[in-house]
Amino acid sequence: MPTKHDATAKNIAKKEGTTYNQGQGPDVNTAKRAVEVETTDTIRDGFRQLSGFQKPVYIAGADQEATQKAVEATKGTTVGVMNPQGKIVKRSTRKNK
């Protein structure tokens, strides 16, 4: 049975027109943005995974609680937040270079 993390990552990847990357790097990576799916316990890991990207970056909560925690954790940063359905709840201010 897939975890909430995997199900969320696959759903967002499908919505973004790409595939879920289970290896190193962000879970979803397109030309326009990078998305890292996190649970309430792993929000901080998302920052590390997304550092260095020269395009908009997002942490997607694997559930509503993780999404809320991500919104709090990303205040004052360039990192955006998506909900489990891939809807942007806080826009990334990082620009494409």
- What is the phi-psi region of residue 87: left when phi exceeds 0, alpha when psi lies from -120 to 50, beta otherwise? beta
Torsion of the alpha carbons at 93, 8, 61 and 20, rounded to the nearest 10: -50
The answer to whether 37 and 12 are in contact (CB under 8 A) is yes
pLDDT in tens, 56-89: 999 999 999 999 999 999 999 999 999 999 999 9
Phi, psi of 89 (to 5 degrees): -105, -20
CB atoms within 10 A of CB 75: 9
How do residues 15-24 score in pLDDT, each as one tens digit?
A: 999 999 998 8
Model confidence at 95, pLDDT cuts 50, 70, 90, reads: confident
State residue 90 phi and psi, 5-degree precision: -145, 120
pTM, two decimals, is: 0.94
Task: Quote the pLDDT of residue 71.
Answer: 98
